[in-house]
Structure 1
Amino acid sequence: MGELPSEPAAWAALALAAALVGFSKTGINGTASLSILLFATVLPAKESTGALLPVLIIGDLFALRFYSRHVAWPVLARLAPWVVVGVGAGAVLLWRVDDAAMRVLIGAILLAMLAVQVWSRLRPAKDPDPDSRRGFGRRSAAAGTGVAAGAATMLANAAGPVMVLYLMLSGFPKLRFLGTMAWFFFAVNVFKVPISVGLGLITWPTLLTALCLVPAVALGAFTGRAVVHRVNQRQFEVATLVLSAVGAALLMV
């Protein structure tokens, strides 16, 4: 990203994406997939991952401000080493693929993650503990989730659906769910910064763009906090999944 966007339409799309980031971080998860799509539409696909990362961190800070006390530290401790493995694998792949392949890859990751979310809603939740269901031990569940989340977040900032599935099946209360998600993504996104800088994905124009988008992130974050207890979450998430699936499919065309 050698320079700031110049067209008003591009800034409008980035501002909408930033607001959706804030809303997803503090309200109803799922809208972040639309942010990935909008950034990858306005910017080259590879550069969009680096441009979106500072915006995500800003959203994480709002989420920490609201929910930092509600966190399941043992869950994060089990995931941490496996996330590092996944991020490393994603960084290697990110370095090797070209921009056209990256667009297809981002679209495929989003579709796969959306399929996971749909499956989790259709499958009866007989066991509320994801670490013990159907023969999966605590370590194997954490390993699979951590590697998948690390690779998805490095390649396309798209680890949200993986973590939503893992934590949703744990039966966490809403605030504990949001607090654990907030700390997880803040730590992972900060960990990704030096890697993204080394790959040339984060530059001074990238950081300046993120700074310009702070008001949009704040608007989304405060809106998300206000409506999280006032909307039918199931209907909203179904609509978001449909829109995200359409956007992911368009990326692959």
Structure 2
Amino acid sequence: MDSVMVVLFLAGLITGFSKFSVGGMGLLVLPIVMIAVPGPEALAILLPLYIITDIMAVFSYRSKIAWSVLARFLPLAFLGVFVASHFLANIDGEQFVSFLGVMIITMIALGLYLDYRPTSFMQKPLAAYSMGFLGGIVTMMANAAGPIFSLFLLEQKLDKKTYVSTRAWAFFIINVVKLPFYISLGLLSVESTKTSLYAVPGLVIGSFIGYHVLKKVNPIQFKWLIRIMSTAAALKLFLFS
């Protein structure tokens, strides 16, 4: 139990820091939790933490939400969550670990693509629907759809405050929608929620640190550090699962 508490504290620390600083650490958190809680059960351990930080975010960003943008994006995201829930119900722990490794590498590759290629095609309705569906699958399977959401929202020509508010509400709504699916799959329970509480102190400390060091962080260097660490985590899933 001591090792579980340490791992979850670290996961909470990273989650809080990421949410209130430069972001992009979602790819790293799930493999860390899986050290203590192998398999899809780790998804349910993390979901309450994400909802807590989402509530903090939407409370902070209550205005200038582009609901019309969310209306194009969210319906297919819900469908993606539904499809992914059926996939989760029919794979074993080993298959989940392999799939997660592939997904992490894919999200890192997407991030690299976005650094060097134009993405004006994201303004087209078909792209909105495609990104919504794909984002729903990725968030349900790995809690790591941040790059996909950002890819779509950044190309909607929103001002900074509207972008931040809309993104915060997108995460909050989708994470709440995921709750009944995780419960029906037997992943989320009273017991798993109690386990999630071990991460709350780290979450609070990480949020505080992230908020206060945001202006001191070099976002480019930090982004590459997270990519390297996430790639190492994905390789660990492939080679040592």
TM-score clears 0.5 = yes
Q: Distance in 2 between matches of 1:178 and 1:19?
A: 22
| 1:227 maps onto 2:219 in alignment | no
User: Which secondary structure does the structure 2 equivalent of 1:148 belong to?
Assistant: helix
Contact 1:83 1:150 in 2 (8 A): yes
Q: Distance in 2 between matches of 1:161 and 1:245?
A: 15
Considering only aligned residues, what root-mean-square deviation do their CA atoms show, in Å?
1.8
| 1:55 maps onto 2:20 in alignment | no
Closer/same/farther in 2, CA of residues 26 and 178 from structure 1, 3 Å limit: farther
Contact 2:5 2:198 in 1 (8 A): no
What is the match of residue 164 of structure 2? 178
Q: Residue deviations 1:95-134, cap 9 Å, x none?
A: 00000000011111111111101110122x474x731xxx
Q: Distance in 2 between matches of 1:126 and 1:33?
A: 22
Q: Distance in 2 between matches of 1:68 and 1:33?
A: 27
- Residues 141-150 or 162-171, more deviating: 162-171
Q: Select which of 77, 99, 102 maps to 2:96.
A: 102
- Residues 70-79 or 231-240, more deviating: 70-79
Contact 2:108 2:227 in 1 (8 A): yes
Q: Distance in 2 between matches of 1:196 and 1:15?
A: 22
User: Which secondary structure does the structure 2 equivalent of 1:44 belong to?
Assistant: coil
TM-score relative to the length of structure 1:
0.87
Q: Percent identity?
A: 32
Q: Counterpart of 1:39 in structure 2: which amino acid?
A: V
User: Which secondary structure does the structure 1 equivalent of 2:216 belong to?
Assistant: coil
Q: Distance in 2 between matches of 1:219 and 1:52?
A: 17
Stretches of structure 2 that go unaligned for 5 or more consecutive residues are none
What is the match of residue 16 of structure 1? 10
Q: Distance in 1 between matches of 2:127 and 2:79?
A: 15
Q: Residue deviations 1:132-166, cap 9 Å, x none?
A: xxxxx2x2111111001100111111211211222
Closer/same/farther in 2, CA of residues 248 and 169 from structure 1, 3 Å limit: farther
Q: Distance in 1 between matches of 2:132 and 2:201?
A: 32
Question: Which of the pair is proportionally richer in helix?
Answer: 2
Equivalent residues, number: 239
Structure 1 residue 40 displacement after superposition: 1.8
What is the match of residue 118 of structure 1? 112
- Residues 75-84 or 220-229, more deviating: 220-229
Closer/same/farther in 2, CA of residues 126 and 47 from structure 1, 3 Å limit: closer
Q: Residue deviations 1:201-220, cap 9 Å, x none?
A: 01112111223322221222
What is the match of residue 242 of structure 1? 228
What is the match of residue 130 of structure 1? 122
Q: Select which of 145, 170, 174 maps to 1:188.
A: 174
Structure 1 residue 83 displacement after superposition: 0.6
| 1:154 maps onto 2:140 in alignment | yes
| 1:143 maps onto 2:129 in alignment | yes
User: Which secondary structure does the structure 2 equivalent of 1:229 belong to?
Assistant: helix
Q: Counterpart of 2:218 in structure 1: which amino acid?
A: N
TM-score relative to the length of structure 2:
0.92
Contact 1:18 1:216 in 2 (8 A): yes
Q: Distance in 1 between matches of 2:212 and 2:150?
A: 20
User: Which secondary structure does the structure 2 equivalent of 1:56 belong to?
Assistant: helix
Stretches of structure 1 that go unaligned for 5 or more consecutive residues are 1-5, 132-136
